[in-house]
């Protein structure tokens, strides 16, 4: 049973952003400080990656652990109400993410997925890994 009214639940859901999220802004800021330049949410690419490095043909998705089901993460819990709805929603999200990543790879793009919890736990480690990965394409 949902503890919130339908109106309040709708309001909560409407506040969830698909771009310019806190983890994404943190990653963008830190990468920009390292001198990395990128494009944002390129609509012509599958899945509209959060950050795109055309020079390196690399794309980064900054995924929220709950919505994109980070395997084994404490934040990827299953809601207690409307379990069938959430299972279906999460399965579709996972399938869409895999399809978009595969389409990018088939087109010659490198794909990096950065998880929200990794950015919270060790942002400097994530930045080091991303910049090291991109430098391998020089």
In the predicted structure, residue 12 carries a pLDDT above the cut 80? no
* Residues 42, 35 contacting (CB under 8 angstroms): no
Average of per-residue pLDDT across 62-89: 92
Is the pLDDT score of 138 beyond 80? no
**Any idea which of 5-19, 45-59, 89-103, 106-120 has the lowest mean pLDDT?**
5-19
Q: Which CATH class name applies to 18-135?
A: alpha beta
Pick from 13-17, 50-54, 68-72, 101-105: least confident? 13-17
Lowest-confidence range among 9-23, 48-62, 74-88? 9-23
Question: What is d(CA 41, CA 69) in angstroms, rounded to the nearest whole number?
Answer: 21
* The pLDDT value given to residue 136: 79
Each domain of the chain, given as residue ranges in start order, spans 18-135
pTM to 2 decimal places? 0.85
Residue 4 CB contacts under 8 Å (≥ 6 apart), including other chains:
12
19 has pLDDT over 80: no
Give mean pLDDT, residues 22-32.
94
For range 113-138, the mean pLDDT: 89
């Amino acid at each position: 049973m949902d503890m919130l009214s339908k109106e309040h639940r709708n309001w909560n859901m409407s506040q969830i952003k698909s771009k310019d999220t806190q983890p994404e802004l943190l990653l963008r800021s830190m990468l920009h400080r390292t001198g990395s330049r990128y494009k944002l949410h390129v609509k012509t690419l599958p899945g509209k990656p959060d950050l795109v490095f055309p020079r390196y043909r690399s794309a980064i998705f900054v995924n929220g652990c709950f919505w994109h089901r980070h395997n084994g993460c404490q934040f990827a819990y299953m809601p207690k109400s409307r379990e069938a709805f959430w299972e279906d929603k999460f399965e579709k999200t996972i399938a869409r993410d895999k399809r978009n990543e595969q389409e990018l790879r088939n087109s010659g793009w490198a794909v990096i997925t950065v998880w929200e919890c990794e950015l919270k736990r060790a942002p400097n480690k994530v930045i080091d890994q991303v910049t090291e990965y991109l430098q391998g394409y020089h």
